[in-house]
Structure 1
Amino acid sequence: MKFRPLHDRVVVRRVTPAEKSAGGIIIPDNVKDKPMEGEIVAAGPGARNEQGVVVALDVKTGDRVLFGKWSGAEVKLDGEELVIMKESDLLGVIEDGVKTAAAA
């Protein structure tokens, strides 16, 4: 991908939820919510503080993150649907070994 976000913005690829529930029930498309989990595809260098120093982001490419349902701007780059948002819109980073409701 030839896109570089500026300042404290990140590009996120939504993780597609499972087609079946934990009990084996198939979930129809019209009932599914937008996934609130994604993977960082690209991250900007960071925002400047009051002294003009660039403060690096806490996330990096490849991190799995949670974000608000209506966060960011949805764009289509290279035929892929992505979300561009500020780092402050992210709720947190998912560490290895942590299961989310979407993955369960």
Structure 2
Amino acid sequence: MVEVKINPLADRVLVQPDPAETKTTSGIIIPDTAKEKPQKGTIIAVGKGKKDEPMNLKKGDRVLYGKYSGTELKWEGEEYLIMRESDVIAII
């Protein structure tokens, strides 16, 4: 797992999205212009939670999140998303 020097605050999490699919299951190659944003990834760092709401997510969890969730962030050549815990739909 990647070690990142970014510490999310409150109920936010740092997610490293999975790479976009480059080929369909039938073998058709998807061009860059038609690739969809991935909707799953791995939690790299978590905040401490809110005063009355502890965090349910932890570092290393594989998660599903909404298509337009989070804020995109590029750090040391890698792409990440910072989002609220409530933007995470499920742990997989």
User: Structure 1 length as normaliser, TM-score?
Assistant: 0.80
Q: 1:36 aligns with which of 32, 35, 39?
A: 39
Give, in angstroms, the shift of residue 59 of structure 1. Answer: 1.1
Q: Where in structure 1 are there 5+ consecutive unaligned residues?
A: 50-54, 95-104
AA paired with 2:59? T
Q: How big is each residue's C-alpha offset from its partner over 1:26-68, in whole Å with a ceiling of 9 and x where there is no partner? A: 111111110011110100111112xxxxx32111111110111
- Given residue 47 of structure 1, which amino acid in structure 2 is its aligned partner? K
Aligned length: 89
Larger Rg, first or second structure (1 or 2): 1
TM-superposed CA distance for 1:80, in Å, is 1.2
Compute the TM-score of the two structures, normalised by the length of structure 2. Answer: 0.90
Is the Cα contact below 8 Å between 2:22 and 2:35 reproduced in 1? Answer: no
Aligned-residue sequence identity (percent) comes to 48
Query: Could you list the runs of 5+ residues in structure 2 that have no partner in the other structure?
Result: none
Residue aligned with 2:33, SS: helix
- How far apart are the structure 2 equivalents of 1:89 and 1:18? 22
Partner of 2:73: 75
The residue type paired with residue 63 of structure 2 is V
- CA drift at 1:79: 2.0
In the TM superposition, structure 1's runs of 4+ consecutive aligned residues that sit over 4 Å from their partners are: none
